Amino acid sequence: MDTLTDTAALADFCARAAEHDYVTVDTEFLRERTYYAKLCLVQLAYPGEGEETAVLVDPLAEGMSLAPMLDLFRNPDVVKVFHAARQDLEIFFVEHGVFPEPLFDTQVAAMVCGFGEQVGYETLVRKIARESLDKTSRFTDWSHRPLSKAQKKYALADVTHLRVIYEYLAAAIDKTGRRAWVEEELQGLLDPEIYVVDPDEAWRRVKTRTNSGKFLSTVRALARFRETFAQGRNIPRSRVFKDDALLELASTKPQSVQDLGRSRLLLREARRGEIAEGILAAVAEGQATEPEDYPEIDRSREKLQVNTALADLLRVLLKAKSEDAGVASRMIASAADLDAMAAGEMTVQALKGWRAQVFGQDALRLCDGKIALTTQGSKVRIVEL
C-alpha cells in the first residue's frame, strides 16, 4: 500500500484524481497535547479498481508540500467526500485557509436517508458496503514513524469503503429529490466562524450556575486569558487550567500568589510564573468591570412561557414526520426548538428550508389549532379541523 512522501508523487496522484467526479478524503491527527490538531496522515481515493486509486499522504515527511492536494480541494469539478467532516474541515481551514468544495458528508446524507442519529462510519460500512472494519489501530499514535501495516490498512479502509457508501447515498438522495436538503446542511459546515475561537467569546463555553454580572465578568476575563495563552503556545486549554478551576478562581477571587496556593483545583504549574500572573490580572480585570460592561446574557429563552401540552403534541408530530420522511428527528428539530415553538417563538431552524416542508408547516398548523393528531393502528395521523 502506497504512502506518498514527496510533493511530486502527490501532484501526480491529484492530477489523476482530478479526472474523476469525486475523491474520498479522511485524516488521522493528534490533539491530546496541542491546542490545534496536528495533522499526521491524509487518506485519498478516487473511483476505480487497483492500488493506485487509493493512497496515504504523509504530511510529516521532510519537504512534503500539500499544495497539490489543496488545489484539488479547490477544484469545483471534483466532489470531496468525507464522513463526519467537521474536524477534518477545521484542520484544513485553520492550517491552510481552505475548505474542500464542493463537499459531501456521508454522515449528513445518511441521516437524511433514514440511517438514524449521527450514524457512525462503521455502521455504514457494514450496512452499505457489506464489509467489516478492524478498529484496533484507531487510537494509535499516528505521528510515530514508520506506520505499521495494520495502521495503513485501517487508514486506507476509511476512504476505500467510503467510495461505495458515497455512490449509494448520492443515488438515494437524488432518487428522493433531497439533494438540496443535504446541500443546505453542508453550508453550515463551511462557515469559518465555527472553526475559530475568539478569546473574547470563550467564556460562553463555560457552564456556570449564576448570572451575577461581576462573577461573569471574572469568568470572561479568565476564559479570555486561558484561550489566548493556549492558542499562543499551542497547548490544550486544560493544560492552562480546567473549567472547574476557572469557576473556583472566579468565586475565590485570588489577589496574590499565596492565594493561588490555596486553590484546590488549580494545577501546580499554574500557581507560578506566567499563568499565575495572567490569572491574577484577569481576576483583577473582572472585579474592576463596571455594570454597564458586564457580559450580555441571552435570557430570551428564560422568558418563554412554554405550553407543555402543546410541546408534547409537537414531539408526537415530529416523531411521526421523521418516520414518514425517513429522516433522523434530531436533524429536523431539537427539544429546545419544540419548546420555543410551544411558547410562540417562530424563528427556530425547524421552520426554515427543507425542515419547514417536512415538519415546520404542519407544526405551525398544529400550534394554530388548524389540525389535530390521532392514531390509526401504530401510525399517527393528522386530522384537519
Instruction: Specify the CATH number for the domain of residue 320.
Output: 1.10.150
Q: Assign residue 9 the CATH number of its domain.
A: 3.30.420.10
* 261 and 309 co-located in one domain: no
Instruction: Return phi, psi of residue 63, to 5°.
Output: 80, 0
How many domains in the chain?
3
Give the HSE-up count for residue 125: Cα atoms under 13 Å, Cβ half-sphere.
Answer: 16
For the chain, give the mean pLDDT: 94
Mean pLDDT of the region 302-325:
90
Q: Look at residues 259, 288, 317 and tell me which one is the last residue of a structural domain.
A: 288
Question: Among 263, 288, 313, where does a domain finish?
Answer: 288
Among residues 143, 170, 194, the one where a domain terminates is: 194
| pLDDT tops 70 at residue 298 | no
The pLDDT-based confidence of 301 (bands split at 50, 70, 90) is low
Beta bridge mates, 28:
41
Res. 133 pLDDT band, cuts 50 70 90: confident
Q: Residue 135's pLDDT band (boundaries 50, 70, 90)?
A: confident
The per-residue pLDDT for 2 is 73
- Per-residue pLDDT, averaged over 356-371, amounts to 95
Position 86 pLDDT exceeds 60: yes
Residue 293 lies in a domain: no
Q: Does some domain include residue 97?
A: yes
Examine the domain organization and report whether 64 and 112 are in the same domain. yes
Cell numbers 499562543 label which residue? 232
Alpha carbon of residue 276 to chain centroid: 32
pLDDT bracket for residue 138 (50, 70, 90): confident
Flag whether pLDDT at 1 surpasses 70. no
Asked if residue 46 and residue 151 are part of one domain, the reply reads yes
Give per-residue pLDDT as tens, 220-233: 999 999 999 999 99
* Dihedral sign (CA 253, 254, 259, 263): positive
Residues 170 and 226 in one domain: no
Q: Does 295 fall in a domain?
A: no
Closest CA to 88 of 79, 78, 100, 76: 100
Half-sphere exposure of 265 (CA within 13 A, CB side): 14
161 found inside a domain: yes
Query: In sequence order, what DSSP letters do the residues of 114-125 get, joined into one string?
Result: T--TT--HHHHI
Q: 50 pLDDT band (50/70/90 cuts)?
A: confident
Task: Confirm if 363 and 334 have CB atoms less than 8 A apart.
Answer: no
Q: Are residues 187 and 214 in the same domain?
A: no
Q: Are residues 212 and 125 in the same domain?
A: no
- What's the pLDDT at 171? 97
My answer on whether 19 and 134 are in the same domain is yes
Confidence category of residue 376, pLDDT binned at 50, 70, 90? confident
pLDDT in tens, 232-260: 999 999 999 999 999 999 999 999 999 99
More confident residue, 2 or 111: 111
- At residue 285, the 3 state secondary structure works out as helix
Give the pLDDT of residue 300: 59
Strand partners, 22: 79
The CA radius of gyration of the chain, in Å to the nearest whole number, is 25
Name the β-bridge partners of 381. 374
**Which range marks the domain in which residue 257 is found?**
199-288
